[in-house]
Amino acid sequence: MTYTPTYLQARYGAQAAAWPVPHHPVVEHILSHRSVRNFLPDALPPDTVQTLVAAAQSAPSSSNLQTWSVVAVHSQHSRDRLAELAGNQAHIRTAPLILVWLADLSRIARIAQYKDQPADGLPYLDTYLMAVIDAALAAQNAVVAAEALGLGTVYIGALRNQPEAVAQVVGTPAGVFPVFGLVVGHPDPARPAAIKPRPPQASVLHHERYTAPASLTDEIGDYDAQLRDFQASEGLSEIDWSDLVLQRLANADSLKGRHRLVEALQGAGFPLR
Ligand SMILES: Cc1cc2nc3c(=O)[nH]c(=O)nc-3n(C[C@H](O)[C@H](O)[C@H](O)COP(=O)(O)O)c2cc1C
């Protein structure tokens, strides 16, 4: 049985009516994702971290190398510091937990030491990329699980604004790099998050071969207008998505410290050959 649920309309606007989705609780669950930035300070149910990490460890892993780790940061002191390092994002202070997801090549480096064998593939860019991909897949599984438990989450890429300072807070050794944080908590029912629209599927979906559109309208349809409507309904200042992305990537300064990433990675023991 297929139907067009309201959350699909929220995601795609009018075009959603053209593609009903199967009525399936897991699909519905994934389609109704929203980042949460307003949390209650209440503690999480016992064993939440174990459940989320079990979900994370159930994700696929490149060659089963398992090149990720996660630090569960509960302490108010450390969360305050991480909030400060991430551009003062208040939700990091309020919610009871931030998971710091790590690209972790140190485990394999240690295994090579224990076994007195080489691991000369570690310093290559692809190995780092595998670790980042592993960390992202693991984290997203944790997001899906957290949302299924009625919790809210928001990723914190801003931890990469000052990665060396973040590494100090979470005590990571060489060969370990913080990829992003994930705030986890009880959503504040008084300030619920809404489903954010996405660009039309034609923006991201190609059949057989990539076709580069020739105009902004071909590129993103009416997504600028849709996102403006969303921002207005959320009481946010309105800006076209196409301007937002250009602002975000206008120059090195607009990367908010992340233009130093290669240097930071090299300092953390990732030569990136
Ligand atoms: C890797 C990554 C890093 C992110 N970093 C931040 C962040 O630092 N602060 C924040 O408020 N949201 C952050 N987000 C959340 C995005 O802004 C959000 O996913 C996007 O606007 C789409 O909204 P939605 O998740 O509600 O659908 C991040 C998302 C991802 C995937």
Residue-level length of the chain: 273
Can you name the residues that pair with 184 across neighbouring β-strands?
97, 153
Give CA–CA dist 76/78, Å, rounded.
Answer: 6
Among residues of the chain, what percentage have pLDDT more than 90? 92
Give CA–CA dist 252/246, Å, rounded.
Answer: 12
Three-class secondary structure of residue 253 per DSSP: helix
CA of 1 to the centre of ligand 1 (A): 32
Number of domains in the chain: 1
Q: Determine, yes or no, domain membership for 272.
A: no
CA of 34 to the centre of ligand 1 (A): 9
Residue of the nearest CA to atom 14 in ligand 1?
Answer: 155
pLDDT at res. 105: 98
Average pLDDT over residues 108-119: 98
Only one residue has tokens 């076994």, namely 115
pLDDT at res. 213: 95
Q: What's the pLDDT tens digit per position in 129-162?
A: 999 999 999 999 999 999 999 999 999 999 999 9
- ∠ CA(124), CA(252), CA(100), 5° rounding? 55
Q: Determine, yes or no, domain membership for 252.
A: no
Residue 23's pLDDT band (cuts 50, 70, 90) = confident
Q: Which amino acid is at 125?
A: L
Q: What's the pLDDT tens digit per position in 58-87?
A: 999 999 999 999 999 999 999 999 999 999
Residue 1's pLDDT band (cuts 50, 70, 90) = low
Q: Which ranges of the chain would DSSP assign to H, the alpha helix?
A: 6-12, 25-31, 48-57, 76-85, 90-94, 106-114, 125-148, 163-170, 201-204, 216-220, 223-233, 241-248, 261-267
Q: Does the CB atom of residue 81 touch ligand 1 within 6 A?
A: no
Are 71 and 52 in contact by the 8 Å Cβ rule? The answer is no
Residue 3's pLDDT band (cuts 50, 70, 90) = low
Q: What's the pLDDT tens digit per position in 164-200?
A: 999 999 999 999 999 999 999 999 999 999 999 999 9
pLDDT at res. 44: 98
Q: Determine, yes or no, domain membership for 113.
A: yes
The Cβ of residue 37 has, within 10 Å, a number of other Cβ atoms equal to 18
CATH of the domain at 38: 3.40.109.10
Tokens coding 136:
């992202």
Please indicate whether residue 24 or residue 101 has the higher confidence score (pLDDT): 101
Q: Determine, yes or no, domain membership for 168.
A: yes
Q: Does the CB atom of residue 55 touch ligand 1 within 6 A?
A: no
Q: Does the CB atom of residue 153 touch ligand 1 within 6 A?
A: no
Q: Does the CB atom of residue 180 touch ligand 1 within 6 A?
A: yes
Q: Determine, yes or no, domain membership for 166.
A: yes
pLDDT at res. 121: 98
Q: Taking 90 as the threshold, does the pLDDT of residue 15 lie above it?
A: no
- Residue 95 structural domain: 22-188
Q: Determine, yes or no, domain membership for 64.
A: yes
Residue of the nearest CA to atom 10 in ligand 1?
Answer: 156
Average pLDDT over residues 223-229: 97
Are 272 and 265 in contact by the 8 Å Cβ rule? The answer is yes
pLDDT at res. 4: 64
From 35, 195, 239, the mutation candidate for ligand 1 (largest count of ligand atoms within 8 A of CB) is 35
Give CA–CA dist 211/203, Å, rounded.
Answer: 10
Q: Does the CB atom of residue 155 touch ligand 1 within 6 A?
A: yes
Q: Does the CB atom of residue 107 touch ligand 1 within 6 A?
A: no
Ligand 1 atom at shortest distance from the alpha carbon of 193: 26
Q: Does the CB atom of residue 196 touch ligand 1 within 6 A?
A: yes
Can you name the residues that pair with 101 across neighbouring β-strands?
70, 180
Q: Determine, yes or no, domain membership for 237.
A: no
Q: Does the CB atom of residue 170 touch ligand 1 within 6 A?
A: no
Can you name the residues that pair with 186 across neighbouring β-strands?
40
- The number of CA neighbours under 13 Å toward the Cβ of 146 is 31
Q: Determine, yes or no, domain membership for 263.
A: no
Q: Does the CB atom of residue 88 touch ligand 1 within 6 A?
A: no
